[in-house]
Amino acid sequence: MASQEKTGDAREIPYIAAITEGVRSVMLEQENAFIAGEDVAVVGSVFGIYRGLLEEFGADRVVDTPISEEGIMGLGVGAAATGLRPIIDIMFMDFLAECMDEVANQLAKMRFMFGGNATLPVTVITMGGAGISMAAQHSQSLEAWLCHLPGLKVVMPSTPYDAKGLLIAACRDDNPVICIFNKLSLRISGPVPEEVYEIPLGQANIVRPGENFTIVAYGRMVHEAIEAADELAKLDVDCEIVDPRTLQPFDTETVIESVKKTHRAMVVHEAVRFGGFGGEIAAQIQELAFDYLDAPVARVGAPFCPVPFSPALEKEYMPNAAKIVAEARELLGV
């Protein structure tokens, strides 16, 4: 069931600071939680996510590892199976390719294969997305890989509020959860309560209520969708924006109820359009709301090519508000 978050008079902090607060809250709450990854301790991660945590919690709980994603993920799986609650940092989500056996065949499967006798409360923090000229091996959006693996939960927060609340919920879950944060979003600010709170996994957010066009967007594309909705409003297109927040489990009910109201839908993600998670969302819409649709389900995603290094080419590659507006106008004939 969807929610429309009201943060009241909460102070505004950057997305990156919200992640830090979430991790710190979990470390204070769970004595058996620890952080492990490349450069997470002394440096505080290459993005600065964990700065100050080594000094507060010590080297036994904030652990710099060798440069080996296989080793890091194996550490997380083994530690969780023996009673700890690891927070594993994989610097770029592209690097999940280095440890996909541990992710797909151990992390996702072990609880099932052991009949529930082993729990795997592993939270994996990783960075996805393009936009800062880090080229083809450091800029991908590979969430569809992860959502296809039974046993994993996958979240992609779009705002600082969601980043903190979803991370805390992930760390409290007894199943493995992959938290995909967006590099280009790290400096955006938004209201975040100081107290500890969690956002239930599998609960979408109605970012913007509307009457005649549903845009389902997640991650940084939520902000592009909001900008596009402002432009489409000038054409009398009243967009409802649904942010799933959690891709696995997916809040199908909220999306379908929105489409039944608006009768038109578009799915937007930064990942490559072909084979992207948007195809699953579009399929669910046509399966469960076909009789309510007045037009085909539109999709906006990146072209089927590696992310370019060139800033000019990368800008052309990435989905944005203008491309959302153009696709909507073509669909609606406005």
Most distant pair of Cα atoms in the chain: their distance: 60
Say if residues 297 and 263 touch (Cβ distance below 8 Å): no
Cβ-count burial 29-56 (b if 16+ within 10 Å, e if not):
eeeebbbbbbbbbeebbebebbeebbee
138 is catalytic: yes
Where does the chain have alpha helices with state H? 15-29, 53-57, 69-81, 100-101, 110-113, 143-147, 160-172, 221-233, 252-262, 277-289, 311-317, 321-332
Say if residues 52 and 105 touch (Cβ distance below 8 Å): no
Cβ-count burial 164-183 (b if 16+ within 10 Å, e if not):
bbbbbbbbbbebbbbbbbbb
Say if residues 125 and 89 touch (Cβ distance below 8 Å): yes
CA–CA dist 240, 221 (Å, integer): 14
CA–CA dist 262, 257 (Å, integer): 9
User: Which secondary-structure segment (H or E) carries 125?
Assistant: strand 123-128
| 249: preceding bond cis by omega (within 30 degrees) | yes
Interacting residues of 147 by C-beta distance below 8 A, sequence separation 6+: 154, 247, 248, 250, 277, 280
Comparing CA positions, the residue from 278, 279, 204, 280 lying closest to residue 242 is 204
Q: Annotated catalytic residue: which of 138, 148, 223, 263?
A: 138
Active site residues: 138
